[in-house]
Amino acid sequence: MAGSEQDDDVEAGQNITRNKPVDRLVIWLASIVGVCLVAAAAALWAQGGAAVFFEMLVAGIMSCF
């Protein structure tokens, strides 16, 4: 009997760790958006320098309040 309980636990664990295609799509989309945001930040930094980059960040944060 102990063996059958252990088999049930293994099957239940496998169901939890199984990835659905939708989950993978969400992970890929989130990582693509993250890479684009980092690339945009690097482009702003390269174009205007650190002072302009930080001024834009501060202006964006202040516009929220």
Read off the pLDDT of residues 24-39 as tens digits, 9 standing for 90 and up: 889 999 999 999 999 9
Token pair listed for 5: 């309980």
Q: How far apart are CA 28 and CA 37, in angstroms?
A: 14
| pLDDT score recorded for residue 57 | 85
Q: How far apart are CA 38 and CA 16, in angstroms?
A: 32
From the list 41, 46, 43, the residue with the least C-alpha distance to 57 is: 41
| pLDDT score recorded for residue 7 | 52
52 vs 19 pLDDT, higher one: 52
Mean residue pLDDT of the chain comes to 78
Position 8 confidence tier, pLDDT thresholds 50, 70, 90: low
